[in-house]
Amino acid sequence: MASTHALLDVSGAEKTFGANRVLGGIDFSVARGEFVSLLGPSGCGKTTLLRIVAGLMAADRGSVRLDGAEITNVPTHKRNVGVVFQNYALFPHLTVAENVAFGLRVQKFAPEQIGKTVERFLDLVHLGEKASQPVRGLSGGQQQRVAVARALAVAPKLLLLDEPFSALDRKLREGMQIDLKRILREVGITTVLVTHDQEEALVMSDRIAVMNRGEIEQFAAPADVYLRPQSLFVLGFVGHAARIEGHVLTSQNGLVEVETPLGLLKAPGNFVSGSTVTVAVRPEYIRVNDASPEPDSNMIQATLTEIVFQGSKSHLHFIGNGDTPILVEASQLPRDLRPGATATLTWRFGDGLSFPPERSA
């Protein structure tokens, strides 16, 4: 989707290492001011795509455009693309302020301007009082903020973040995510975040590109990715869902009727009769022992195996015919239900999803 106001436009990017096809012709574009996440499992090619955009690696085929200019063959130091590396890559022989000043110094800015800019960005990331300290003694979170300030100080056109939170512990991570989002909005910079953490992508992004084996499977707003996943892979990678495989009996009026080990199920979709289909449903749409189920609902029997209390909500793990695991999210702990009990689970046809089999490797 090469739109005219795209700031970044990657088209047909291919990369192969030996026999390992890491990127299979990726098209990827980001609008000015947008915050986009590249979400995918380890080894799917996220870092490779990022390095191609930064010019740290050459694609075998395809082109990169930035701000309307073709930069496919422009070397990294002339691209003006900022990168925050996974391990931050701070210069160990320089102080915090010298790290932030590095880009301005090599680009021969005037000393007064360097001083002012460094101060401004250190204040932005709340590290003003650490300016003259060595970077060695900083905590992980502080190092990350130095890396962000260093990248932003040269006013790049685009900021790339490669798993910037993966070195931080969970508690710290959430606070840092919100903090970073605030900083980047304040600066108003277009950002691409690489992550394999779906929650992080959902929290931070305007749009999420879900990657699998060197391809982008879906590129959409977080709510779309969650509510309307376009493939079984996206469904499985973002959030939880019960999956029930079966064969199509009929398919009409946008509703497909599927024969499964749990009985006949209906879900939105169009398929050829007889084809293999997976019906899926998110945990929060399933009701347990609903006395007056809505019309047009699927209804199955399943056995409760475990209750996991999660504070504001509970996860009920059921198992249905054919050893099908079914996860239900309930806002309250069920009183009358003990593990081992059988229950009736219902959800509206319209709340389900249907997918063709996952593409093979």
Partner 1 sequence: MNASSSRVDPVALLAAPAILYMLVVFALPMSVLVIRSFSGSSGPTIEAYTSFLGDAFNWRVIGNTLRIAFFTSLVCLLIGYPTAVALARSKGAVQALLLVAIILPLSVGVVVKTFAWQIVLRRDGIVAAFLVATGVWDEPQLLLFTETGLVLGAANVFLPFMILPIYSVLKLINPNLQDAAATLGASPAQRFFRIALPLATPGLFSGTSIVFSLAASMYVIPSLLIGDRFQTLATLTGRAFLLMRDERLGSTTATVLLVLSILIVTVSAWAVRPKGGR
Ligand X SMILES: Nc1ncnc2c1ncn2[C@@H]1O[C@H](COP(=O)(O)OP(=O)(O)OP(=O)(O)O)[C@@H](O)[C@H]1O
Sheet with 276-281, strands from edge to edge, namely 263-268, 255-260, 242-252, 276-281, 353-355
- The listed partner (ligand X, partner 1, Mg ion, none) that binds 22, CB under 5 to 8 Å by sort, is ligand X
What the block records as the tokens of 174 is 């959430």
| Residue with smaller CB distance to partner 1, 91 or 305 | 91
Apex 56 CA angle, 53 and 60, nearest 5:
70
Quote the least distance from Cβ 169 to ligand X, whole Å.
18
**Cα gap 158→189, rounded to integer Å:** 6
Considering only residues 58 through 87, tell me which ones interact with partner 1, judged by CB under 8 A.
75-83, 85, 87
Q: Is 139 in the site for partner 1 (CB under 8 A)?
A: no
Please select the residue that binds ligand X; options are 1, 3, 4, 42, rule is CB under 6 A. 42
| Residue with smaller CB distance to Mg ion, 51 or 130 | 51
Q: Is 115 in the site for partner 1 (CB under 8 A)?
A: no
Please select the residue that binds Mg ion; options are 29, 47, 198, 354, rule is CB under 5 A. 47
DSSP type of residue 95: B
Q: Is 254 in the site for partner 1 (CB under 8 A)?
A: no
- Torsion sign (Cα): 353, 359, 360, 361: negative
| Residue with smaller CB distance to partner 1, 13 or 90 | 90
Q: Is 18 in the site for partner 1 (CB under 8 A)?
A: no
Q: Is 22 in the site for ligand X (CB under 6 A)?
A: yes
Please select the residue that binds ligand X; options are 44, 53, 204, 343, rule is CB under 6 A. 44
Residues with Cβ within 8 Å of residue 210, at least 6 apart in sequence = 39, 40, 216, 217, 218, 219, 225, 233, 234, 237, 238
- The listed partner (Mg ion, partner 1, ligand X, none) that binds 269, CB under 5 to 8 Å by sort, is none
Quote the least distance from Cβ 25 to ligand X, whole Å.
15
**Cα gap 292→185, rounded to integer Å:** 47
Q: Which long-range contacts (CB under 8 A, 24 or more apart) does 234-239 make?
A: 234/210, 235/280, 235/353, 235/355, 237/39, 237/40, 237/41, 237/198, 237/210, 237/212, 238/39, 238/198, 238/201, 238/202, 238/208, 238/210, 239/198, 239/282
Number of helices (H), then strands (E), in the chain: 8, 20
Q: Is 145 in the site for ligand X (CB under 6 A)?
A: no
Q: Is 235 in the site for ligand X (CB under 6 A)?
A: no
Q: Build a one-symbol-per-residue string for 91-110: x at contacts with partner 1 by CB under 8 A, - elsewhere.
A: xxxxxx-x---xx--xx---
| Residue with smaller CB distance to partner 1, 106 or 249 | 106
**Cα gap 253→175, rounded to integer Å:** 47
Quote the least distance from Cβ 94 to partner 1, whole Å.
5
Chain-centroid distance of CA 299 in Å reads 33
The footprint of ligand X (CB under 6 A) covers 17, 20, 22, 40, 42-48, 196
The footprint of Mg ion (CB under 5 A) covers 47
The footprint of partner 1 (CB under 8 A) covers 54-56, 75-83, 85, 87, 89-96, 98, 102-103, 106-107, 132-136, 150-151, 154, 156
